[in-house]
Amino acid sequence: MERGKQLCAWGAAVLIFVVLMVVTPAIPQSEEYHNFADQRELFLGIPNTLNVISNIPFLFVGVVGLTLCFYRNYFRLRLQGEIWGWSIFFLGVTAVAFGSSYYHLKPNDARLVWDRLPMTVAFTSIMAIFIIERVDEKTGTTSIAPLVIAGILTILYWRFFDDLRPYALIQFLPCIIIPLMAILIPPMYTHSSYWLWAAGFYLLAKVEEAEDKQIYKWTNHIVSGHTLKHLFAAMVPVFLTLMLAKRDIEPERRSLLQKWKIYWIRIKENGLKAERLECEYSEVSTTV
């Protein structure tokens, strides 16, 4: 029965993907994408200096996260799929530091492959982790390899056919699905709200990327939107690392939506109690 559900889910995903590929036009990679606002060479002879060195946080966070996955089981990862998923994620984050720096030294399509490849590995591994934690351990574990491979194939497809549609799907789908799943599906662990903080910082990073030149103008040519995009995007693994360090088994598996409803009900109840006390106090004062 479970096997049948999994096959149906994968079949539906493939069908949706095929339909999107048929009904939507190809999205070629614009050459203008490589024309970043801040192209200054500030020190050490590093071209596009700030866009290069702003990738350093990815290296630190990735190495720390990967180390803590195995060092005395600091993150208390209980499932084999979790260990694989988080290890691949932090490997991807670490590789972003090298791939993105390599690309920004001389931005072009050939180097952009090495910028996008590690990011895609990180995105897809996160999706598998979420399936493990929120849906089913076995399904999530078996989906790690297919999702990561699918992500890599989207990069190859773009490079050979100059069509960004599959890559855009892999990149932006987690931005929609993960916050929704974090809100609606009961978690296995505590500190689930950290997922939303991570999603929020990633959204801000994408806005800064889109407004690269405008932000560079607003800051009087001090820092560009793309540099800030790197720094804000690095906050995603920072928050996920903090979540892993702090979280524990959730004693009451309630979704964030359920918790928010309970919290709102309590606020309303406290408000009503306060109103009653105020009325009673007013009546006593009047009587006296």
Domain residues of the chain, as ranges? 31-251, 255-287
91 vs 134: which has the higher pLDDT:
91
Chain-centre distance for alpha carbon 244: 15
User: Counting beta carbons within 10 angstroms of the beta carbon of residue 192, is it exposed (0 to 12), middle (13 to 18) or buried (19 or more)?
Assistant: buried
Rounded to an integer, the average pLDDT of 33-48 is: 93
Beta bridge partners of 249: 189
Q: Domain 31-251 adopts which CATH fold? A: Rhopdopsin 7-helix transmembrane proteins (1.20.1070)
Evaluate if residue 189 carries a pLDDT over 60.
yes
Question: What pLDDT was estimated at residue 18?
Answer: 77
- pLDDT per position as a tens digit, 122-149: 999 999 998 998 888 888 899 999 999 9
Distances (CA, A) of 73 to 33, 76, 80: 42, 5, 12
Evaluate if residue 3 carries a pLDDT over 80.
no
Q: How far apart are CA 270 and CA 283, in angstroms?
A: 20
Question: What pLDDT was estimated at residue 278?
Answer: 57
